Structure 1
Amino acid sequence: MATVQLNATRDAEIIPPITFVAPEGIHALPVDISGEQRPAAALEFVRSLFPGGDDRLWQTAAPFYELVTETMASAGLAFSGFGLFALETGGVAHCSFTVAAYASDHTDPEIAAQGILAILASDPMNDARWLDLPCGPAVSRITLRELTLSAGITASGGQARLLTGQIQIHVPFPTGPFTAVFTVDTAAMEYWGEFCDMTTAILQTVSFPVSADELDAHGPFSEASV
């Protein structure tokens, strides 16, 4: 497991720090790296993502993940990673995990959460629920979507349907007028329960340090910035 601290800025506003613990199996893209450093960082990322690979695989995959990293950074994500978890039966269960923050102009996190819940619950496609986390109030939203895959990209040569799920949690900052958004997406729906459990475990570790002593108490961090 790794403790992650996000120190971010948006439109010249400093977003207060937020920390959480990412489980083993989550591979973080270097979204906080400058454009000049991105090729080397992408190469290091694919080496960690495919430790059993070779130079040919790493050199081939690095440009793709460099582009993905640039896209995620441009989208304003403070953290973006892939979850790859080995299965006892062979293969892997996979997901994407991202964290972003947006200005919400609130002074009370509970009032902010109530407003978020009202908005999300108004859409019948959302399963929106109130959460009481150790760090304060939050709102979860679960959505399931069925996609139609064209015949040109399926192994069978015919159209196929793919069910995907998204878990999204909005957590109002108690230390400033911002809201964090934790999002997990997966098409490995046979392991949906496990991904729900993983997300719950991550949320139990979320905190909003307000002093240098609190930051130090978390030990070494990997930093990401918007």
Structure 2
Amino acid sequence: MHVGWILPPFFHELPVETDDVDEAGEQLLATVQQVLPGGTDDDRFRMFVTYAGLLDELRDAGAVYAGFCNLDFDGRPSTATVAVYRMPLDRITAEDALSAALTGLQRAYPDDDVRISTLPSGIGDTKAVVRIGNAPFTLAAEASPSGEPVEVPRGQIQVYIPLPNDADLLVFELSTPCMEDWDFYSELFATIVRTLDWATEEEAELAAVLSGAQPVPEAVPDPAVVRALHSRSHRILEALAIPGRTDEENATSAAVTCVTCADCRAKGLESACTARAHWQIEGVEDVLLAAAVGRLARTFQGEGWTTLSENPGESVALAEAEGSGHRVNATLIPGRQRLVIEVVAPCTRIVRGPGDSIFG
């Protein structure tokens, strides 16, 4: 079963999937340097030690994903961690797993708020067990400003969601020591859980035949995503350099639609994960448009874009940042004096499935 979710871009992934200690350390160090580029060596060391210890706990607990944020609220630092766990079920239905989780959590955490709730998710309302309570932890001496171990209060939300294959229980967990920001993180976590989406292997196989970015009409694109798409549309127009044409308004005011990208759709995931802008240039001779497609390909290739496919003089598909950034498709419609441009933003979904050696 393929499972996906979307986290805000200010979350930084922790390397829970690698068992190589040196590799995990290198990845964590790179993340710390990215998060604290202007921090002191002591700041970076404390953050590294804090998350290195947490990384061991998460890996031992079977986390399939973990990420943290490091925010600034008017000069006051704030942080939270999100983790996702997969718990295999043995000869038990999703409904029975829900009941068992409720009973077990109420027994283990008698002072916490434990209940069954209906959660809106990417594929409709889903029943889940929700636990809200405290989970204090000990901050190691190396990470403590005082140089002594310190017990730190921490709030925690856990959501236990049985997957419909009756084989897996998915657990989403948010933890934060910044209780003054609890309301913010609670709302943020609810937003993350609402992006949960899944598909069976059979659904994924069918979706692979129908792959292609599919519109999701009810979703609204993020303004920052819209601006980025319009900015790249402007750059495309410059690279096309069609003589005598000024299509600036057409390109930079193109409607932006939320879509499910081809890769996610091929996994059977249907909720919106990205957005695209679609516009066209009309009334220009095919020979001029063909030359423009060639200029676009050469210009973007020279700027480091990767060519995904190219039919010289007719079409080109390009990807930014070695395939992880925006994607551009330019296609000439022969005999119609029309060039169609599609710009797709990067996919924001985090996917775990059989291909990732996590589920199945």
Q: TM-score, normalised by structure 1?
A: 0.73
Secondary structure of the 1:47 match is: helix
How many angstroms does 1:90 deviate by? 0.6
Does the Cα contact within 8 Å between 2:68 and 2:81 map onto a contact in 1? yes
Alignment of 1:165-184 (within 5 A): 165-184=155-174
**Pairing of 1:26-105 with structure 2 (within 5 A):** 26-35=11-20, 37-53=23-39, 64=49, 68-87=54-73, 89-105=74-90
For the Cα contact (< 8 Å) 2:2–2:351, is it kept in 1? no
Q: Which moved further from structure 2: 193-202 or 129-138?
A: 129-138
- 1:128-181 CA deviation, whole Å, 9 max, x = no partner? 1212123421111011256799xxx676x9xx9853211111111112411111
> Residues 82, 18 of structure 1: CA spacing in aligned structure 2 closer, same or farther, 3 A cutoff?
same
Deviations 1:70-118 (A, max 9, x none): 553343211112222221x212211121111111235542332122123
Q: Secondary structure at the match of 1:99?
A: strand
Q: Rg bigger for which structure?
A: 2
- Kept in 2: contact 1:39–1:62 (CA 8 A): no
Over the matched positions of the two proteins, sequence identity in percent amounts to: 25
Q: Write the distance in 1 (CA, Å) between the matches of 2:56 and 2:97.
A: 31
> Counterparts of 1:79-158 in structure 2 under 5 Å?
79-87=65-73, 89-105=74-90, 108-122=93-107, 123-135=109-121, 136-144=126-134
Unaligned runs of 5+ in 1: 1-15
Question: Given the superposition, is the C-alpha separation of residues 59 and 127 from structure 1 closer, same or farther in structure 2, using an over 3 Å criterion?
Answer: closer
Q: Which has the higher contact order (CA 8 A, sep 6+)?
A: 1
Point out the structure with the larger strand share. 1
The count of residues paired between Structure 1 and Structure 2 equals: 208
> Relative to 1, partners in 2 of residues 1:50 and 1:209: Cα closer, same or farther, differing over 3 Å?
farther
Aligned equivalent of 2:180, options 169, 173, 190: 190
Q: Compare 38-47 and 200-209 and name the one that shifted more.
A: 38-47
Residue matched to 1:21: 6
Q: TM-score, normalised by structure 2?
A: 0.48
Runs of 5+ unmatched residues, structure 2: 208-264, 275-346
Secondary structure (helix, strand or coil) at the match of 1:31 reads coil
SS in 1 for 2:165: coil
1:202 corresponds to 2:187: no
- Structure in which a larger fraction of residues adopt helix: 2
Kept after mapping to 2: 8 A contact 1:106/1:178: no
Identify if the C-alpha distance between structure 1 residues 186 and 174 changes in structure 2 by more than 3 Å, giving closer, same or farther: same
